[in-house]
C-alpha cells in the first residue's frame, strides 16, 4: 500500500505548474497549459513509480521517460530540476534562450535526462515503441537480472492523432510490448479549440483493438486514482498499457480549458490570478518551496539504492556468466570485431553482375554472423529489399531473440522504432523499404540526423532503372532531399564490390545515421585488378579508372548503376583521343568530409570539364562540377517500362555521356 499523499506532494505539483507559468512568461514564448494540467500525473509517476537514478542519468537499467507532448517541455525541465538532475534553476529561467539547456522542445544529447528529441507530434510515442523493442531484445539475450525496465510516455491528443502513432502502437500491441506504458493527456484541447472539431473517436477502444491494456482516470487531480492506475499499468505483464487521464489544460488559470493557453504564455494579470488560486507568492518568480524540493529529491536516494541493488545483482551475474557479461558490454558499446572488414564478402568480376540489393543481402548475413547485436528487417519488403538474416528467427511476441523485424507496411513507424532501439542501446538496427518511400518516413529520418543516432536505413529500387512500376515508384528528387539533410551520409554503391564498404561505413558511424541506397536491377561487378579498390567508398569518392597518361581532360562522375555508363564513355572518348577520368562518388557527404588535398586529388581544380551521371535530379551536384559542368541527370518524373528501356529513353546512354563530355570541354 502506497503511503498517503500529503502537503509536500501538493506543493511539488503546484511548483511544477508555476515553474511552467513563470518560464513561459519570462521567455514570452512556450506552452504553459499542458504542464499545468499534467503536473499531478507526472509527479505521481516520477516520485512513486519511475525507476530512475538522478545521480546517474545513464544507468543502463533505468526506466526511460519520453515526453511525447514535447511542446510541454517545461513539465520535463521542472521534473529534472526538482528531482536532482543536472539542470539548474538558472537554466529554467533561460527557457528557450540561445545556448540554454532548456530549448523549446526537448533535445536528446543537449539536456541531461532527455531520452529522445520530441516536438513533431507522434514521434515520441513511436520512438518509445523502439525503446520497448530494445529493452525486450536485451532482456531476452541477457536476462532480467541485467535488463528489466519500463518505457513511460506522456502523450497528447496530437500525438495520438498523428499517423505515425497509429503505425507504431499497432505494432507494439501485436508484439505485446508489455514494458511500454503510456499516460494519455486527455485534455480535449488542441490549437484550434476543442478536439471535437476534428477528433471524436474512442481512443481507448482503438487501443484495446490494438491489443493494449487500457485504463482511465477521470480526474487528473485525483492523486490516489492516478497512483492506482499507474501501479496497475506498471504490473501489467502481457500487453502494453495506456492510461487516459482526463485533465484540464491550464488548470487553475483564468484560461483553463481554453485553447489560448496551449501555445502562449499567460498574461501578467492572468498569472496573478493563477498564483492567487494556488495560494502562491507573487514574488519571487520561479519560487520553489523547500518542502516540495525535499519531496522530489527523495528520488536521489531511492535511485541510489535501486542502482546499488542492481549493481549487486550485476556483480553476481558477472561471476556466474563472465562471457555473457562481456557480450553485454560489447553490445552496449557497439564494439565491432577488429577483423570485420576481412569477414565481409568479396564479389568477383562479372559483366552480368548482381543487383546491389542482392550484394547487400549477402553482406547483411556476413555481418550478422560476426555482430550478434545486429538486427533488422523491412516494411513488408524483405524479399525485395534482401534484408532477411538467414536463421535469425522472427522477432515476435514470445520470441524476442529473433533478429528479423517484420514492421508491416509501416515505413514511418519503422523509422521511429529504429531510432528508439538505437537510443535504448545494445542494438544496431536497420530497416528497409523502397527509396521512393523515404518520404513516408521523413520526419523520423530527419530526427535520426538531428539526434545523431545510429539508425541504418536501407533503400532499394533506387531509380527509374527499377522499371515497370512507373513514376510513382521511381525516385527522382529523393536522393537530393536526403543529401540536403544535415549530418547525412547517403551511400549509393556503383557495383557489388562497393556494397560491403558501404555497410562498413554504416556500422562505424556510431553517432550518426546512414542511408544505404541499392539497385533493383543487376549491374556489372568491376574487375578490381583493372579498377581501383572498392575500399575507396570509405572516402566517399575516388578515382575508379584513371585517364590514359594520368592527365585527364574531362572527369566523368557517376553513382549507382550509372557508373557503368561512365566507364563505357571513357573507352569511347579514349578512341577519339580524349582522356577521361572516371570517378565513383557513392557518398558526397563522406567526400566532403575529406581533406581539401584529397578532394583536389580526385577532382583536380585544373580540370574544368566535368560530367555528372545519375538517374536523378541534378540538384546538389553543382558544388562538384563548377561552371563548365554538364549533367546526364533527370529533371522530370520517370515512366513505366522495363528498366533498361526507361533508362535508355530518358537519356541514360553511353552516347549521351560522351556528348556531355564534349560539351563540357567546349565550355
List active site positions: 411
Asked if 348 and 179 count as a contact pair (C-beta separation under 8 A), the reply is: no
397's CB contacts (< 8 A; 6+ apart) are 174, 175, 176
Which of 419, 417, 412 is closest to 442 using CA atoms? 412
**C-alpha cell, 418:** 529504429
3-state secondary structure 524-561: EECCCCCCCCHHHHHHCCEEEECCHHHCCCEEEEECHH
HSE value, Cβ hemisphere, 13 Å, CA-based, for 185: 33
Q: Cell numbers at residue 627, please? A: 561552371
Cα-atom radius of gyration of the chain, to the nearest Å? 28
For residue 242, what is its C-alpha cell? Answer: 495506456
Going by C-alpha positions, the residue among 470, 160, 523, 212 that lies closest to residue 353 is 523
CA distances, 603 to each of 43, 92, 451, 511, 573 (Å) = 59, 50, 32, 29, 18
Q: How far is CA 596 from the centre of its chain?
A: 31
Ramachandran region, residue 259 (left: φ > 0; alpha: ψ -120 to 50; beta: rest): alpha
User: In the sheet that 374-378 helps form, which strands lie side by side, from edge to edge?
Assistant: 404-406, 374-378, 428-434, 456-460, 514-517, 490-491
- CA-to-CA distance for 91 and 296, rounded, in angstroms? 18
d(CA 69, CA 185): 9
Sheet harboring 213-217: ordered strands across?
Answer: 64-67, 151-156, 180-186, 241-246, 213-217
Cβ-proximal residues to 534 (8 Å cutoff; 6+ apart), any chain: 495, 497, 498, 500, 501, 526, 528
CA atoms of 98 and 142, how far apart (whole Å) = 43
Cell 533488422, located at residue: 376
Q: What is the largest CA-CA distance in the chain?
A: 91
Could you give the CA distance from residue 423 to residue 155 in angstroms, rounded to a whole number? 19
What is the C-alpha separation between 285 and 22, in angstroms, rounded?
6
Rounded distance between C-alpha atoms, residue 536 and residue 529, angstroms: 14
C-alpha cell at 261: 493557453
State the angle between helix axes of 123-142 and 411-424 in degrees (0 to 180), rounded to the nearest 10.
50
Amino acid at each position: 500500500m502506497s503511503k498517503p499523499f500529503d502537503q509536500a506532494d501538493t506543493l511539488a505539483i503546484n511548483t511544477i505548474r508555476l515553474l511552467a507559468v513563470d518560464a513561459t512568461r519570462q521567455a514570452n514564448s512556450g506552452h504553459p497549459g499542458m504542464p499545468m494540467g499534467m503536473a499531478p500525473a507526472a509527479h505521481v509517476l516520477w516520485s512513486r513509480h519511475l525507476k530512475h537514478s538522478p545521480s546517474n542519468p545513464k544507468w543502463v537499467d533505468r526506466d526511460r521517460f519520453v515526453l511525447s507532448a514535447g511542446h510541454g517541455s517545461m513539465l520535463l525541465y521542472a521534473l529534472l530540476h526538482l528531482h536532482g538532475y543536472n539542470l539548474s534553476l538558472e537554466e529554467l529561467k533561460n527557457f528557450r534562450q540561445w545556448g540554454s539547456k532548456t530549448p523549446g522542445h526537448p533535445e536528446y544529447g543537449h539536456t541531461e535526462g532527455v531520452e529522445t528529441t520530441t516536438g513533431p507530434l507522434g514521434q515520441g510515442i513511436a520512438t518509445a515503441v523502439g525503446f520497448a523493442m530494445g529493452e525486450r531484445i536485451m532482456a531476452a539475450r541477457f536476462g532480467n537480472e541485467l535488463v528489466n525496465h519500463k518505457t513511460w510516455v506522456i502523450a497528447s491528443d496530437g500525438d495520438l492523432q498523428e499517423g505515425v502513432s497509429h503505425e507504431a502502437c499497432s505494432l507494439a500491441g501485436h508484439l505485446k510490448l508489455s514494458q511500454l506504458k503510456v499516460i494519455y493527456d486527455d485534455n480535449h484541447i488542441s490549437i484550434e479549440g476543442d478536439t471535437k472539431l476534428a477528433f471524436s473517436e474512442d481512443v481507448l477502444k482503438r487501443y484495446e483493438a490494438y491489443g493494449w491494456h487500457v485504463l482511465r482516470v477521470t480526474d487528473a487531480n485525483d492523486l490516489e486514482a492516478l497512483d492506482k492506475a499507474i501501479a496497475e499499468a506498471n504490473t501489467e505483464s502481457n500487453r502494453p498499457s495506456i492510461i487516459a487521464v482526463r485533465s484540464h489544460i491550464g488548470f487553475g488559470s483564468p484560461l483553463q480549458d481554453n485553447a489560448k493557453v496551449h501555445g502562449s504564455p499567460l498574461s501578467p494579470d492572468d498569472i496573478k490570478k493563477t498564483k492567487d488560486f494556488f495560494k502562491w507568492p507573487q514574488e519571487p518568480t520561479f519560487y520553489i518551496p523547500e518542502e516540495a524540493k525535499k519531496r522530489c529529491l527523495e528520488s536521489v536516494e531511492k535511485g541510489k539504492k535501486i542502482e546499488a541493488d542492481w549493481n549487486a545483482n550485476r556483480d553476481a551475474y558477472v561471476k556466474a556468466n563472465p562471457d555473457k557479461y562481456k557480450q553485454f558490454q560489447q553490445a552496449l558499446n557497439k564494439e565491432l570485431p577488429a577483423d570485420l572488414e576481412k569477414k565481409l564478402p568479396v564479389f568477383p568480376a562479372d559483366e552480368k553482375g548482381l543487383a546491389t540489393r542482392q550484394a547487400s543481402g549477402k553482406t547483411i548475413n556476413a555481418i550478422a554472423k560476426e555482430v550478434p547485436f545486429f538486427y533488422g528487417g523491412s516494411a513488408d519488403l524483405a524479399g525485395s529489399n534482401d534484408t532477411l538474416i538467414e536463421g535469425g528467427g522472427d522477432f515476435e511476441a514470445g520470441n524476442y531473440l529473433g533478429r528479423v523485424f517484420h514492421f508491416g507496411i509501416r515505413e514511418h513507424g519503422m523509422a521511429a522504432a529504429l531510432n528508439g532501439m538505437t537510443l535504448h542501446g545494445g542494438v544496431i538496427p536497420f530497416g528497409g523499404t523502397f527509396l521512393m518511400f523515404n518520404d513516408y518516413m521523413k520526419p523520423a529520418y530527419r530526427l535520426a540526423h538531428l539526434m545523431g543516432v545510429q539508425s541504418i536505413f536501407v533503400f532499394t529500387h533506387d531509380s527509374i532503372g527499377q522499371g515497370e512500376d512507373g513514376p510513382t515508384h521511381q525516385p527522382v528528387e529523393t536522393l537530393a532531399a536526403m543529401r540536403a539533410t544535415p549530418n547525412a551520409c547517403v551511400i549509393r554503391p556503383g557495383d557489388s564490390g562497393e556494397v560491403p564498404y558501404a555497410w562498413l561505413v554504416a556500422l562505424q558511424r556510431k553517432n550518426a545515421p546512414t542511408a544505404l541506397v541499392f539497385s533493383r536491377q543487376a549491374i556489372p561487378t568491376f574487375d578490381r585488378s583493372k579498377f581501383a579498390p572498392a575500399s575507396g567508398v570509405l572516402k566517399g569518392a575516388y578515382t575508379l579508372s584513371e585517364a590514359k597518361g594520368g592527365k585527364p581532360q574531362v572527369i566523368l562522375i557517376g553513382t549507382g548503376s550509372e557508373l557503368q555508363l561512365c566507364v563505357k564513355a571513357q573507352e569511347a572518348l579514349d578512341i577519339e583521343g580524349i582522356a577521361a577520368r572516371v570517378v565513383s562518388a557513392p557518398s558526397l557527404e563522406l567526400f566532403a568530409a575529406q581533406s581539401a588535398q584529397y578532394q583536389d586529388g580526385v577532382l583536380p581544380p585544373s580540370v574544368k570539364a566535368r560530367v555528372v551521371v545519375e538517374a536523378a535530379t541534378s540538384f546538389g551536384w553543382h558544388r562538384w562540377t563548377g561552371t563548365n559542368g554538364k549533367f546526364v541527370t533527370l529533371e522530370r518524373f520517370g515512366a513505366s517500362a522495363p528498366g533498361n528501356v526507361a533508362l535508355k529513353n530518358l537519356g541514360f546512354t553511353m552516347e549521351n555521356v560522351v556528348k556531355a563530355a564534349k560539351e563540357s570541354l567546349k565550355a
